[in-house]
Chains A and B, each alone.
Chain A
Amino acid sequence: AQSVTQPDIHITVSEGASLELRCNYSYGATPYLFWYVQSPGQGLQLLLKYFSGDTLVQGIKGFEAEFKRSQSSFNLRKPSVHWSDAAEYFCAVGTVSNRDDKIIFGKGTRLHILP
């Protein structure tokens, strides 16, 4: 069965500092991986996704993530965070190749930005 682990419940970084949010997954085949961001009281916005090909994926808002099969990881990074990046971030893993697909979310990491 699929599962996703985000080991950090809260992360606090200073504005302008670099960021890395961790995500580990468990899945028997090649996974399809996603990062979503959620602002308070809002729905989810897709930051980036990995299906195949280049393991370093570029997303919106200056985010990137790297798929490392050997470590079963898909960590999200940003070189310099902005105060507007404060939000909840969800990593997700899924199968998207047939009608029986679904995606499973990690528990999320709350990002706090210090001025």
Chain B
Amino acid sequence: GAVVSQHPSRVICKSGTSVKIECRSLDFQATTMFWYRQFPKKSLMLMATSNEGSKATYEQGVEKDKFLINHASLTLSTLTVTSAHPEDSSFYICSARDLDGLYWGYTFGSGTRLTVV
């Protein structure tokens, strides 16, 4: 089946620095990828939809200048948290849209735990 690889799994960074998270579809081409943020004991909040070769579509309330998304190829999308602050600490999960037989489905990465100190 479809596999999505997300790296790093954990990252600790200093306040004010930037962090890049990668999301790769390993055995399929993903024209659309999604980035979610999960707060402790909370559900997943969709941050943005990333389409290959075009600008990402951000959900309301998500700062596009803070969370930079690049989807430069059909197998790679990156999320860069710029000038990170402790309140950006969270669990970030990417998802890729894949064709499963006649229907589209979603495959998730294993997530990235970001801690900003």
Contact = CB atoms under 8 A, between A and B. Distances in A.
Identify which of A45, A103, A104, A106 gathers the most chain B CB atoms within 10 Å of its CB: A103
A42 interface: yes
A106 B46 CA distance: 12
Interface stretch (A67-75, A77-85, A93-101): A93-101
Contact of A90 (B31, B32, B44, B107): B44
B7 interface: no
Interface of B: 6, 31-32, 34, 42-44, 46, 49, 51, 91, 93, 95, 97, 103-111, 113
A101 B104 contact: yes
Contact of B108 (A36, A41, A97, A106): A36
Interface of A: 32, 34, 36, 41-46, 49, 51, 90, 94, 96-97, 99, 101-108
A85 to B, nearest CB: 19
Contact of B109 (A43, A49, A90, A108): A43
Contacts of B107: 46
B93 A102 contact: no
Contacts of B51: 99
A42 to B, nearest CB: 6
A104 B111 contact: no
B8 to A, nearest CB: 13
A103 B105 CA distance: 10
A96 B105 contact: yes
B46 A90 contact: no
B83 to A, nearest CB: 26
A18 to B, nearest CB: 25
Nearest to B111: A43
B105 A105 contact: no
B110 to A, nearest CB: 4
